[in-house]
Amino acid sequence: MRSLTTDVLVIGGGITGAGVAWDASLRGLDVILVERLDLAEGTSGRFHGLLHSGARYVVKDPPAARECIAESRILKRIAAVCVEDTGGLFVTTPWDDPEYADRFASACGQTGVDCEEIPAAQALLQEPRLNPSITRAFRAPDANIDIWKAVWAMARGAEERGARVLPYHEVTAIRRDGDQVTGAHVRDVRGDEGLEIEAQVTVNASGAWAGRIATLAGIEGVRVFPGRGIMIAMNHRLVNTVINRCQMPSDGDILVPVRTVSVIGTTDEHTDDPDDQTVAQSEVDQMLDEGEKLVPGFRQARALRVWTGVRPLFEDAKAGGTATRDVTRAHALLDHRTRDGVGGFVTITGGKATTYRLMAEETVDAVCDILGRSVPCSTATQPLPGSEPGENYRLGERLARKEQHLRDEQVICECELVSRDQLEQTLRRSGSANLDDIRRRLRLGMGPCQGGFCIYRAIGIMHAQGGVSAEQADASLLEFLQERWKGVWPILHGDQLRQMRFDEWVFHGILDVDRLPTGPLAGGSDPEVAAR
Ligand SMILES: Cc1cc2nc3c(=O)[nH]c(=O)nc-3n(C[C@H](O)[C@H](O)[C@H](O)COP(=O)(O)OP(=O)(O)OC[C@H]3O[C@@H](n4cnc5c(N)ncnc54)[C@H](O)[C@@H]3O)c2cc1C
C-alpha cells in the first residue's frame, strides 16, 4: 500500500476544504487534500450561486449578515474573475408582510449592509419582468459566484505551492494513536487502491458529512443537520439582478441570474442522509409558483434542470428541534483537543459558500497553533490565481472576446461559448474521460440545450486526442446523458419536453446511442496527481 506524509491532511474538496488547502499552502505548510468525488461535487457544486451581501440575514441573523458583507467585499476583489457583480434587489410583493421592509432597512443600517431604497417604478425600469405589483424596492450589493472556478483556482494555486490534491480519494478510516489523530486511510476510488496518509494535523472539512468523519475518528456528538434544498435553472436570464423577496427568509424567494440562465430556489427540508438527492414534484411546483410571484409568466419559461444540495447545519448544544431554516447558518470550528481530548484533529463545518475564506482562515490559525507555528493569513489580500487583474466577470465579455477570434477559433458549446482550444486543454490537463468532470470545469452542456449540440462534439474531440478508445468514449457519452437525464425528468413538460425530444432525435438519429458498443471508462484522476 502506498503511503504519504504531510503537515496537514484536509478531508473534503468543497469550497471550505479548497480554501483551507490554499490558505495553508500560502502559509508554507505541506498539504494533502482528499475528496471522495470530483472537487466541488458535494454541496458546493450544488448551491444556488449567490454571493450573499448579508441583506438576507439582517433581521434574522445579524452576525451572519455582518460576516457576509465583510467577506463578499473581500471575495469581489480576491476572487474577481469568479464573481459577476450583478447587484441585488429586495422587493415587497403582495404576498409579503409590508411591515418587514422598515425593519429590513433599519437592520441593514445596524449590520453595515449597504442598502438603498429606490422607487418601485425605478426597480421595474431596471428589471422589466418583475411583478408590477411590488410596492417597495431596496438595492443591496448581492452578486453571483462561479464556485467551480474558485475551487479549482485555489486547488491549482495550492498545487503550485507543493500541495497534493487528490480527487476521487475517499477517507475510509481515521488513524489514531492513543488520544492523537495521525492521519487517515484513504481509498483511491477509481484505482480501488488503498493509501495511508500520515499527517500532523487532520482537518475535517467534509461539510454535511462532518459528523460521519468525526465518528470515524471515534468522536461522537458532532451533529450536522443535513438541510436539503432544490433549485431549478430556467433557460433565460429572466432578470439581470439577484432578486430577493423582502421578507423573512423562506422557500423559493430568491432568483439568481447565473451566466446565461436564472436559478430559482430553494427549499429547506430536514433529511438524515447528506447524500439524499430527492426531488419531490411538490417542491418543483412550489418553486415554479414562487417564481411566478416574482416574475409573472415564470412558468412559461423553460425549466432546464433541477438539482438538490444539502446544507451543513451545525447544531450547537443550545439548538433544538429539526426545523432546518431555524438552525444557525453560522460556521463551527471544533478543535477536538479541547472539545474531546483528541489531538491533531479539527472540524470546520456549517457556514455558507460566501464565508468560506473566513472559515479557512480560522481553521488554519488553529492548525498553526497546534503545529506551534506563527504565520499570518494572507488570503484577504492575495488574489486567487487568475483573478490578479481584479476585474469581475461580465456576461458580455466572453462573446466580445470570441468575436475577435471567430475566424480561427472553433466554438464547441454555443451556449457557454467554450472553444475547441479550451476543451482540448482541459481534457489534457484533467486526464479525465468523464464528461461530467469536464462539464464542471468548463460549464460545457450547462446552457439551454443541456448538451444537445456540444456533447457529441466534445466526445469526438476527446477520442481524436487519443487516450480513450471508441468504446470508452461511447461509455462516457452514455454516462453523461444519464446524469443529465436525472436532472431533467422531474421538469419535463412544455418547451423543455420539446427540447428533450429534439436532443433525443439527435442522439438516437445521428448516433444511435442505444446500440453503441461501450467499454469501461478510462481512469479519471489528474495525471499530475497520479504521477506523484
Ligand atoms: C440548496 C442550497 C443552496 C445554497 N445556496 C447558497 C448560496 O447561494 N450562497 C452561499 O453562500 N451558500 C449557499 N449554500 C451553502 C453552501 O453551498 C455551503 O455552505 C458550502 O458549499 C459548503 O461547502 P463545504 O466545502 O463545507 O461542503 P461540501 O461542498 O459539501 O464539501 C464537503 C466535501 O466532503 C466530501 N466528503 C464527504 N465524505 C468524504 C470522505 N469520506 N472522504 C473524502 N471526502 C469526503 C464530499 O464529497 C464533499 O465534496 C447553499 C446550500 C444549499 C444546500
- Output the pLDDT for position 320: 46
- d(Cα 279, Cα 288) in Å, to the nearest integer? 14
- Output the pLDDT for position 529: 30
Give, in order, the Cα–Cα distances in Å from 325 to each of 49, 229, 264, 369.
Answer: 18, 11, 17, 34
Which DSSP category does 16 fall into?
H
The reply to whether ligand 1 has any atom less than 6 angstroms from the CB of 171 is yes
The reply to whether ligand 1 has any atom less than 6 angstroms from the CB of 211 is no
Provide CB contacts within 8 A for 264, sequence distance 6+: 231, 232, 234, 252, 254, 255, 287, 288, 290, 291, 298
For residues 57, 61, 64, 69, the Cα torsion angle rounded to the nearest 10 degrees is 40
- Output the pLDDT for position 191: 87
How far does the centroid of ligand 1 lie from the alpha carbon of residue 207, in Å?
A: 5
- Output the pLDDT for position 369: 97
How far does the centroid of ligand 1 lie from the alpha carbon of residue 14, in Å?
A: 6
Q: What are phi and psi of 259, to 5 degrees?
A: 50, -120
Relative to the CA of 41, which ligand 1 atom is closest?
A: 49
Whether 342 contacts 182, CB under 8 Å:
no
Question: What is the pLDDT tens value at each position of the chain, 532 positions in all?
Answer: 899 999 999 999 999 999 999 999 999 999 999 999 999 999 999 999 999 999 999 999 999 999 999 999 999 999 999 999 999 999 999 999 999 999 999 999 999 999 999 999 999 999 999 999 999 999 999 999 999 999 999 999 999 999 999 999 999 999 999 999 999 999 999 988 999 999 999 999 999 999 999 999 999 989 998 999 999 999 889 999 999 999 999 999 999 999 989 999 999 999 999 999 999 999 999 999 999 999 999 998 999 999 999 999 988 543 444 445 545 568 999 999 999 999 999 999 999 999 999 999 999 999 999 999 999 999 999 999 999 999 999 988 877 877 777 677 889 998 888 999 999 999 998 888 888 889 989 999 888 888 888 998 999 999 998 878 888 888 889 888 888 888 888 888 888 888 888 888 888 877 788 878 776 654 443 333 332 2
Which residue of 206, 250, 313, 354 sits with most ligand 1 atoms within 8 Å of its CB, as the best mutation to test the pocket?
206
Question: What grid cell was written down for 199?
Answer: 499527517
Which residue of 16, 20, 22, 47 sits with most ligand 1 atoms within 8 Å of its CB, as the best mutation to test the pocket?
47
How far does the centroid of ligand 1 lie from the alpha carbon of residue 13, in Å?
A: 9
Give, in order, the Cα–Cα distances in Å from 33 to each of 7, 124, 307, 309, 319.
Answer: 11, 47, 26, 22, 32
How far does the centroid of ligand 1 lie from the alpha carbon of residue 358, in Å?
A: 15
Relative to the CA of 228, which ligand 1 atom is closest?
A: 53
How far does the centroid of ligand 1 lie from the alpha carbon of residue 312, in Å?
A: 7
The reply to whether ligand 1 has any atom less than 6 angstroms from the CB of 312 is yes
**Amino acid at site 405:** H
For residues 263, 265, 269, 275, the Cα torsion angle rounded to the nearest 10 degrees is 10
The reply to whether ligand 1 has any atom less than 6 angstroms from the CB of 56 is no
Q: Report the DSSP pairing between strands 169-177 and 50-51.
A: unpaired
- DSSP per-residue letters across 110-126: HHT---EEE-HHHHHHH
- d(Cα 7, Cα 372) in Å, to the nearest integer? 12
The reply to whether ligand 1 has any atom less than 6 angstroms from the CB of 167 is no
Q: Report the DSSP pairing between strands 331-335 and 345-350.
A: antiparallel
The reply to whether ligand 1 has any atom less than 6 angstroms from the CB of 351 is yes
- DSSP per-residue letters across 411-469: EEETTTTEEHHHHHHHHHHH----HHHHHHHH-TT-STTTTTTTHHHHHHHHHHTSSS-
Whether 242 contacts 89, CB under 8 Å:
yes
Q: Considering the entire predicted model, what is its pTM?
A: 0.86
| Per-residue pLDDT tens over the stretch 76-102 | 999 999 999 999 999 999 999 999 999
How far does the centroid of ligand 1 lie from the alpha carbon of residue 47, in Å?
A: 8
Q: Where are the beta strands (DSSP E) in 193-259?
A: 193-204, 224-234, 242-245, 254-258
How far does the centroid of ligand 1 lie from the alpha carbon of residue 516, in Å?
A: 36
The reply to whether ligand 1 has any atom less than 6 angstroms from the CB of 130 is no
| Per-residue pLDDT tens over the stretch 91-146 | 999 999 999 999 999 999 999 999 999 999 999 999 999 999 999 999 999 999 99
* Residues facing residue 6 across a β-bridge: 199
- Output the pLDDT for position 490: 85
Which residue of 32, 48, 166 sits with most ligand 1 atoms within 8 Å of its CB, as the best mutation to test the pocket?
48
Relative to the CA of 169, which ligand 1 atom is closest?
A: 43
Q: Whose CA is nearest to atom 46 of ligand 1?
A: 42
